[in-house]
């Protein structure tokens, strides 16, 4: 009887270990402090876990505020820091290395550009390629690859048991504007009515917020021939009676230079809202695409606007003061 119980216990441990090792890796934490969670199984120690995740065993103990000399308990959870040595977002690996997908579960109101800003500004094109989908297909509940665990093929169980990519079945096919077929939609879902008017899906190119620019390298043809503050001025009602003042930055976009379609990123304002932006006596109207990206360059900013919009305002490079109403 005792031998039977011992055998059953070993069988259970082997099955649970196999399930744990085959489960997709899910990322935890915030920008700059990402980590994985590992559940300790039988006979594991700091050294074996370190080999599994390509991490220093002593660093793991320190990271978890635990004594390196104290044995680990079965079922105990250990946080595995993702660092430059074991976290890859460029799909670069050396000889004897393997890349294991790391996943993020899409939450409500998260979209491709939002995920890019959360995970070290990884290009949206990479997210599309890794997950075999278009940015418009991103929906709540999806499991998306946002990076890779880089391990040694001769040391990590993961390398010999490659984790498969969950099959995504997006409910709709991404669309491309017929008016400008070379531009890709940055919005991830149909935009709701704005300020009492019906808003159509708008095609704009991918946006980069890595650096500020006023768009001085372009000429705003639309602003030179129109005095309305942009295409979206006709949709602005301002019936919410909300106003804000603060610092603004810019992001690069090919939209707005000829069609006057200006865009903005701002926290606390519903996607699709048309806002009025004024600076130094000049006014433009922009459509909100989403929230400000969580990056140090956004610290202290009220809003980011497309460089075509800043060119019409004549604000120049760097930060500038604005008043926003909607």
- Percentages helix, strand, coil for the chain, rounded to the nearest 5? 25, 25, 50
pLDDT digits (tens, 9 = 90+) for 246-268: 999 988 877 888 888 899 999 99
pLDDT attached to residue 2:
58
| 221-325 classified as CATH 3.30.365.10 | no
Q: 222: exposed, middle or buried (C-beta count within 10 Å: 0-12, 13-18, 19+)?
A: buried
The band of 9, judged by pLDDT with boundaries at 50, 70 and 90, is very low
Read off the pLDDT of each residue in 235-256 and give the average, rounded to a whole number.
Answer: 87
* Structural domain spans, the chain: 22-160, 221-325
Distance between terminal CA atoms of the chain?
Answer: 75
The band of 148, judged by pLDDT with boundaries at 50, 70 and 90, is very high
Query: Residue 148 in contact with residue 137, Cβ under 8 Å?
Result: no
Query: What is the pTM for the complete model shown?
Result: 0.49
pLDDT attached to residue 13:
44
pLDDT tops 50 at residue 211: no
How would DSSP label each residue in 89-108? Answer: SS----TTEEEEEEEEEPPT
Give how far the C-alpha of residue 203 lies from the chain's centroid of Cα atoms, to the nearest Å: 20
Query: Residue 153 in contact with residue 97, Cβ under 8 Å?
Result: yes
Paired residues of 81 in beta bridges: 35
The band of 245, judged by pLDDT with boundaries at 50, 70 and 90, is very high
pLDDT attached to residue 320:
93
pLDDT attached to residue 4:
55
| Neighbour count for residue 318 (Cβ, 10 Å) | 12
Question: Which one is predicted more confidently, 20 or 277?
Answer: 277
pLDDT attached to residue 237:
85
């Amino acid at each position: 009887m005792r031998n039977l119980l011992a055998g059953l216990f070993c069988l259970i441990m082997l099955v649970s270990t196999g399930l744990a090792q085959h489960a997709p890796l899910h990322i935890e934490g915030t920008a700059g402090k990402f980590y994985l969670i590992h559940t300790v199984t039988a006979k594991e120690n700091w050294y074996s876990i370190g080999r599994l995740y390509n991490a220093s065993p002593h660093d793991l103990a320190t990271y978890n505020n635990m004594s390196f000399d104290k044995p680990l308990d079965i079922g105990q959870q250990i946080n595995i820091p993702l660092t430059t040595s074991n976290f890859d977002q460029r799909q670069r690996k050396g000889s004897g290395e393997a890349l294991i997908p790391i996943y993020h579960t899409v939450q409500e109101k998260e979209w491709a550009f939002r995920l890019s800003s959360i995970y070290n500004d990884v290009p949206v094109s990479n997210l599309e390629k890794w997950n075999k989908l278009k940015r418009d297909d991103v929906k709540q509940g999806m499991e998306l690859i946002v990076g890779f665990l880089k391990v040694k093929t001769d040391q990590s169980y993961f390398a010999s048991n490659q984790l498969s990519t969950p099959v995504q079945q997006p409910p709709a096919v991404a669309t491309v504007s017929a008016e400008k077929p070379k531009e890709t939609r940055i919005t991830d879902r149909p935009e709701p009515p704005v300020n009492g008017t019906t808003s159509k899906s708008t095609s704009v190119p991918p946006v980069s917020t890595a650096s500020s620019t006023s768009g001085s390298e372009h000429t705003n043809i639309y602003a030179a021939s129109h005095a309305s503050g942009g295409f979206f001025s006709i949709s602005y009602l301002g019936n919410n009676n909300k106003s804000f003042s603060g610092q603004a930055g810019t992001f690069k976009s090919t939209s707005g230079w000829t069609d006057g379609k200006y865009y903005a990123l701002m926290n606390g304002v519903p996607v699709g809202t048309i806002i009025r932006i004024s600076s130094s006596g000049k006014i433009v109207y922009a459509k909100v695409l989403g929230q400000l990206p969580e990056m140090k360059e956004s610290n202290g900013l009220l809003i980011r606007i497309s460089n075509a919009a800043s060119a019409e305002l004549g604000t120049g490079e760097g930060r500038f003061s604005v008043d926003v109403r909607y």
